[in-house]
């Protein structure tokens, strides 16, 4: 008799508890944002999520993905030694983020991926692109193909590193 009485009291007390209120819209500095529940795919919050903007160094996410996938397919190995070609600094200027890799220098594939992803080295992205696809332009084609496969409908790459270029864009939703 005691347990049902306690459950009834708990039920009555819980009905008197205040209900949850919706949170206020967050104050963000970002111009574009999207928050998605990855389990359900439900968009929880978005602000200009479909606006096409330069992805800048977020471009390197695709470069890194393609580099890892090439290893997973057995096309390249982490220990493979790669020599930087004459075009490794293509599109870069003095203010570009770099690891200081120069044409003719040899690094492991793994070190190139680390250089691309950690210090955001633009030349490492170019070197990886040439290593994976034979040329930077062929790698950019592969980037766009993979983006389409992933459902990125509002993304177009012009280079493997994110340096500003006409026609190089993405959205918060695609990213």
- Is 57 catalytic? The answer is yes
- The catalytic residue among 57, 97, 135, 137 is 57
Residue 15 annotated to the active site = no
Query: Is 120 designated active site?
Result: yes
Q: Residues 126, 63: contact at Cβ < 8 Å?
A: no
Q: Which residues are catalytically annotated?
A: 57, 60, 120
């Amino acid at each position: 008799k005691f347990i049902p009485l306690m459950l009834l009291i708990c039920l009555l007390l819980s009905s008197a508890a205040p209900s949850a209120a919706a949170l206020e819209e967050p104050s963000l500095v970002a111009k574009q944002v999207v928050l998605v529940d990855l389990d359900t795919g439900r968009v929880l919050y978005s602000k200009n999520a479909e606006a096409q903007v330069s992805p800048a160094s977020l471009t390197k996410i695709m470069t890194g993905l393609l580099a890892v996938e090439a290893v997973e397919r057995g096309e390249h190995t982490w220990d493979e030694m790669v020599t930087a070609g004459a075009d490794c600094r293509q599109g870069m200027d003095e203010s570009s983020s770099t690891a200081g890799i120069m044409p003719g220098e040899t690094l492991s594939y793994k070190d190139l991926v680390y250089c691309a992803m950690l210090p955001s080295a633009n030349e490492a992205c170019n070197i990886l692109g040439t290593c994976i696809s034979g040329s930077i332009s062929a790698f950019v084609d592969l980037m766009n193909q993979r983006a389409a496969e992933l459902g990125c409908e509002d993304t177009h790459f012009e280079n493997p590193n994110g340096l500003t270029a006409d026609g190089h864009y993405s959205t918060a939703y695609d990213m």
